Amino acid sequence: MPSTSSTSDQSVGDHATLLLDTNNVSLSFGGVKAITDISFNIYKGEIRALIGPNGAGKTSMLNVINGFYHPQEGTITYKGKVRRRMKPYQAASSGIARTFQNVALFKGMSTLDNVMSGRSLKMHKGLFWQMLHIGPARAEEIIHRKKVEEIIDFLEIAHIRKQAVGKLPYGLQKRVELGRAMAMEPELLLLDEPMAGMNLEEKEDMSRFIIDLNKEFGTTIALIEHDMGVVMDLADRVVVLDYGKKIADGTPAAVQADQAVIDAYLGVAP
């Protein structure tokens, strides 16, 4: 089925491989239409921002990509495969990871365990070896522990690695959640308002992590964000949603100058 990309501006430089394509996706809950006929694409290696007023359907869109919600119409093409209904663990095993608006950490576990939980898909030793622990299971744990420690170093959360995450301040929790998503070594990382509730310094740290993630590890990132400054700095291209419909799609500069976007969301600078 041919993909109908409806973007106005294609300046993405050398990232020309399509990773994700949404086609005419519509989603309703009972009588409420959350998303109406939305199509946009994400290229491999880019940072794509989703912006728009609250309730525009941004989180719902991520949930659809993730497999948590199943759209009534439309399809998602990911890595060349077309599908409409996908279970969340299938999304995970095909390389999609995400963070949540309200931090969805495992509150009863430590930072280390939370990030380790992101390695779940990559660990294979069966129950028998785990009962013994000594031997293959322990060796596997150590391999993954090494990887997780790299991530912990990268995100500068080594000092809290053994603490229960429930007691951590909000900004650090968000960072741990990012670490957990990173541990999955995803190809596509969906970030739902990663900077919400952070002060300027924390936002700068988080921006740095996201940029490093994108440039060093090559992770494609789809990002919901309200802070236009962050969007301008980080994003390669932007999709703007309003009332469940797409109203603009292009580079940050182009979108910021778009009249429809200004009317719906941005307003004019004083």
Partner 1 sequence: MFYREAGQFKTSYSADQALLPIKQDRIGLALILITAFVFIPLFGGNFFLGTIMIPFLVFSLSAVGLNILTGFAGQLSLGTGAFMGVGAYGCYKLTTLFPDVNIIILIFASGFFSAAIGVLFGLPSLRIKGLYLAITTLAAQFFLEWCFNRVGWLYNYNDSGAIEVPTRLLFGMAVTGPEALPAVRYLVILTIVAIMTLIAANVLRGRVGRSWMMIRDMDIAAELMGIRPMFAKLSAFAFSSYYCGVAGALMIFCWLGSAEVEVFDINRSFLILFMVIIGGMGSLSGCFMGAAFIQILPIVIRWVPSALGLDVLAATVEHISSIVIGCLIIFFLIVEPHGLARLWQIGKEKLRNWPYPYAN
Partner 2 sequence: MEFLNSIFVAPFIDMGAAPDFLLQVIWEGFVSGVLYALIALGFVLIYKASGVFNFAQGIMVVFSALALVSIHKAGAPAWLAVILTLAIMALLAVAIERVVLRKLVNQHDAILLMATIGLTLVIKGVGEIVFGGEPQSMITEELGIPTGSTDWEVFDGIVIFQHIDIAAAAIALIMVAGLGVFFSVTRIGRALRAVADDHQAALSVGISLNQIWAIVWFASGVVALVTGIMWGARSDVSFALEIIALKALAVLILGGFTSIPGAIVGGLIVGIGEKMFEVYWGPLFGGGVEAWFAYVLALIFLLFRPQGLFGERIIERV
Q: Which residues bind partner 1 (CB under 8 A)?
A: 66, 68, 87-89, 91-93, 97-98, 100, 104-109, 113, 116-118, 120-121, 123, 125, 127, 130-133, 137-138, 140-142, 145-146, 149, 180, 184
Q: Which does 73 bind (CB under 5 to 8 A by kind): partner 2, partner 1, none?
A: none
d(CA 202, CA 225): 15
Tokens of 35: 């998303």
Mark residues 25-64: x for contact with partner 2 by CB under 8 A, - for none.
----x-----------------------------x---x-
Q: Which does 53 bind (CB under 5 to 8 A by kind): partner 2, partner 1, none?
A: none
Q: Which does 4 bind (CB under 5 to 8 A by kind): partner 1, partner 2, none?
A: none
Q: How far is the CB of 67 from partner 2 (least distance, A)?
A: 12
- Cβ neighbours for 209, distance < 8 A, ≥ 6 positions apart: 154, 155, 175, 178
Give CA torsion, residues 213, 240, 63, 169, to 10 deg: 50
Helices (H), 12-97: 58-66, 88-93
Q: How far is the CB of 178 from partner 2 (least distance, A)?
A: 17
Q: How far is the CB of 53 from partner 1 (least distance, A)?
A: 25
Strand ranges of the sheet holding 220-224, from the earlier edge strand across to the other edge? 96-98, 188-192, 220-224, 47-51, 237-242, 245-250
Q: How far is the CB of 102 from partner 2 (least distance, A)?
A: 8
Question: What type of residue sits at position 106?
Answer: F
d(CA 164, CA 109): 5
Contact residues toward partner 2 (CB under 8 A) are 29, 59, 63, 68, 100, 104
